[in-house]
Chain A
Amino acid sequence: MGDEKFAGLSFEEAVRKYKNTVGAVCVMRLKNQTDADDCFQNTFLRLYKKSPDLQSEEHLKAWLIRVAINECNRFMRKNRRELFLDKNNDDTVYFPHEECDLSWALFELSEKYREVLYLHYCQDYKVNEIAKILKKSPNTIKSLLMRGREKLRVIYGGDIK
């Protein structure tokens, strides 16, 4: 492996540091371990091949999330039919129904709400940052967040603030 640096990190350091983030994005989008693994691989290999000029680790993290989402979208487009047929296979990711943890409810949401809520609540991104990553306007992100919370409330069946 070359001695390329990615925002000051070697490739291995970048993989070890951001594997959970990229893995979670892929799982959150695809809800399937095997598919998520494929997109995970593609995301980091794209980083390695392209060697984008990234100024800081924050940029690197945002770049990886953006590319992971794109890889998942590409994967879903290519395998739309198979995904529909194999909706409930062994690799599907489930989270236990807990009283306070809404991860399971998040997985019940449609993709567009799921990714915005995930970035906001799990990755602690602000509205403007999410807008930049997803290349959407901040107002769109705000309304997606609001509607996503509404839908979470419906799914959970109680008060969510």
Chain B
Amino acid sequence: MKNFNFDNMKNFTVSDEWADRVLNTASTIQPSKKPNITVITTCLSLVFVCILGVIGFNFTKNTPKTLPMDVIEETQNETLSNLVEETEKPTTQNETVKESTEHQTVSASTVKPTQVEEITPTQITPQPTVTPTQPQTQPTPEPTEPVLPSEDETTEPTDNGTQNPSGSNGDCIVSFSPSFLVGSGKIYCRIKDDNFKSVGDTNLFSDQHLASFYSGFGSNYYYLYSPENAGLVLEPGTYNYYFYNEHGIPICQVVVEIN
């Protein structure tokens, strides 16, 4: 049996000219620089950390903070005492009221909305018979559009002209731009009388304090709170309506007079 092989092919040799030509050509070419993996990894890590930081910052900024009820009470009392002091000073009807973009308006059917207070920039709608006040601790928003005082008390000072609720005594409609404060949409209202004594159930989140969704058009949501529907009979006088979201964060305050 013959022992076949491919020795000629196996021992094929290339002349040195080929190799020299390659080496000469290569000497004129700049080899590719490999990117340093460590540097790339560090840069990517930094970018990742920055992105995480931005996301975390936005999340913290947009998450509503749930305050304990006693803190809320304290804040309310402080604000209210400021309010009482300020309401003693007479104000004229000519005071212009500034409206901010993150704004809320207040309306009442048979009552006069006097002041709106919110955590975000505030807006106050003065009425002829009521003295609007503004908390001193809150920054005044940049004026955008003056809101003229409404002559007709039953006309709601809202831009879309939403109708008032059926004229139950003490009914109150609040409207505000949808924001994180509104949460999932449950709004509670607690009423306090002149002496800051709560009316009705002491539990804020009871059904008695639940305000009902009245209407909404994307830019403004309207919530109605009717004491009569909640089984509360209010004597004539001045009442403070405090509106909260489902986390107990106060959204606005309305002073309502019942004749």
Contact = CB atoms under 8 A, between A and B. Distances in A.
State yes or no: do A and B come from one complex. Answer: yes
Contact of A45 (B3, B9, B29, B30): B29
Interface string B130-149: 00000000000000000000
Contacts of B7: 101, 103
A50 B32 contact: yes
Interface in B9-45: 9-10, 12-14, 18-19, 21-23, 25-27, 29-32, 34
A101 B27 CA distance: 39
Q: B interface, how many residues as a size bin?
A: 20 to 34
B23 A15 contact: yes
Contact of A102 (B6, B31, B32): B6
A139 interface: no
Interface residues of A, number: 42
A117 B9 CA distance: 11
Contacts of A99: 2
Contacts of B166: none
A53 B37 CA distance: 13
B6 A16 contact: no
Contacts of A69: none
Interface stretch (A22-30, A73-81, A82-90, A128-136): A22-30
Interface string A107-142: 000000000011001100000000000000000000
A51 B34 contact: yes
A1 B26 contact: yes
Nearest to A96: B8
SS class, residues of chain A in contact with chain B: helix
B165 to A, nearest CB: 75
B6 A20 contact: no
B9 A28 contact: yes
Nearest to B2: A100
Contacts of B119: none
Contact of B18 (A4, A19, A103): A19
B26 A102 contact: no
Contact of B19 (A1, A16, A28, A50): A16
Given A48-B31, A100-B4, A15 B19 contact: yes
Given A1-B23, A15-B22, A160-B4, A122 B29 contact: no
Contacts of A50: 32
B259 interface: no
Contacts of B3: 100
Given A51-B32, A100-B5, A122-B6, A41 B12 contact: no
Given A95-B9, A159-B1, A45 B31 contact: no
A50 B4 CA distance: 40
Q: Which of B1, B3, B7, B21 has the most CB of A within 10 A?
A: B7
A58 interface: no
A1 B1 contact: no
B13 A23 contact: yes
Contact of A12 (B1, B23, B30): B23
Given A24-B12, A51-B32, A122-B10, A45 B26 contact: yes
10 contacts: A11-B26, A12-B23, A20-B13, A40-B22, A49-B29, A51-B31, A53-B34, A103-B6, A104-B8, A117-B6
5 tightest Cβ-Cβ pairs between the two chains A and B: A23-B14, A103-B8, A103-B9, A24-B12, A44-B22
